[in-house]
Amino acid sequence: MSQKVVVIFSGGMDSFTVLNLAVKEGLEVFALSFDYGQRHKKELDYAARACKTLNVQHKIVDISAINQLIGGSSLTSDIDVAEGHYEEGSMKSTVVPNRNMILLSMAVGYAVSIDAKKVYYGAHSGDHAIYPDCRPEFVHKMNDVCAIANYEAVEIVTPYLAVSKTAILTAGLEMGLDYNLTWTCYNGREKACGKCGACQERLEAFTENGVTDPLAYEGCCP
C-alpha cells in the first residue's frame, strides 16, 4: 500500500512541482488548498484543474473568515501589489502574517486524521529574503513541533528548500511538467501582469532555463 502524504497546493508552479514529485514517487497524494481570503481565486481554479488532470484527491478549504485577523497584506487587503524584483523590500507588503504556520498546522491536522505521516510544501531559497515562514529555521522548528503536537508524529517535507525557483523549474521540466496548468501572478486578471515580484521570479526562472513561459502576459504575449 502506498504511503499517504498531504501536499499543500496553492496552484502555483512551486507547489505544482512538489505535487508532481510526490505523485511520481508513487505516494498516495492528498492535495490541500486554502481560500484564506486572498485577493483572487484564480490560483485555486488552477489548482483544481491540475488535480483533476493528475487524478489526485483534492480539497479546497474555505478559511476566509481568518482574513479578519491576518489582514494588512497586499494579498489579503485593499492594498496595491508592489511591482519589481521579488527580493526588493517593497515585496514585504505581500507577507501574510503567520500564513504558513496556520496552513501547515491545518495540513498536519488533516494528515493525522487520514493517517498520513508527511506534509509537503513548496518553500524555496528565493522566498528566504522576504518570507520568514519559508526559511530553513522556520521549517526546522515546525518539524520539531509537528513531531510532538499529536500522538502521531508528522514530518514537514520541503524538497526544494535549499534551491531557487530556477532549479525547481529545471526539475519540473525534467519531469515533463506542463506549467500552463499553473498560475503565479499576485494579480488575478485575465493575463499575468509580468511586473509583480511573483511574475518577475517566474519569468526569470524560464529565461534561465532557456524556455518560453506558456502563460500569457499582459502587453507581450498572446
The pLDDT of residue 158 is above 60:
yes
pLDDT of residue 2: 87
Domain map (residue ranges) of the chain = 4-208
Residue 118's nearest CA partner among 44, 207, 30 is 30
Q: For the residues 132-136, what does the mean pLDDT come to?
A: 85
- Say how far apart CA 159 and CA 72 lie, in whole Å: 30
pLDDT of residue 128: 57
Q: Which of 5 and 98 is assigned the larger pLDDT? A: 5
The pLDDT of residue 166 is above 70:
yes
Look at the domain 4-208 and name its fold. Answer: Rossmann fold (3.40.50)
Q: Which of 130 and 67 is assigned the larger pLDDT? A: 67
End-to-end CA distance of the chain: 45
pLDDT above 90 as % of the chain: 67
Q: Confidence band (pLDDT; 50, 70, 90) for 194?
A: very high
Q: Which residue has the cell 526562472?
A: 205
Strands (E), the chain: 4-8, 28-35, 57-62, 118-120, 155-157
Which pTM was predicted?
A: 0.90
Q: For the residues 153-176, what does the mean pLDDT come to?
A: 96
Q: What is the chain's alpha carbon radius of gyration, rounded to the nearest angstrom?
A: 17
Contact between 34 and 144 (Cβ < 8 Å) = no
pLDDT of residue 221: 47
Q: Tens digits of per-residue pLDDT, 51-80?
A: 999 999 999 999 888 887 776 554 554 555
pLDDT of residue 198: 87
Say which amino acid occupies 168.
Answer: I
The pLDDT of residue 93 is above 90:
no
The pLDDT of residue 16 is above 60:
yes
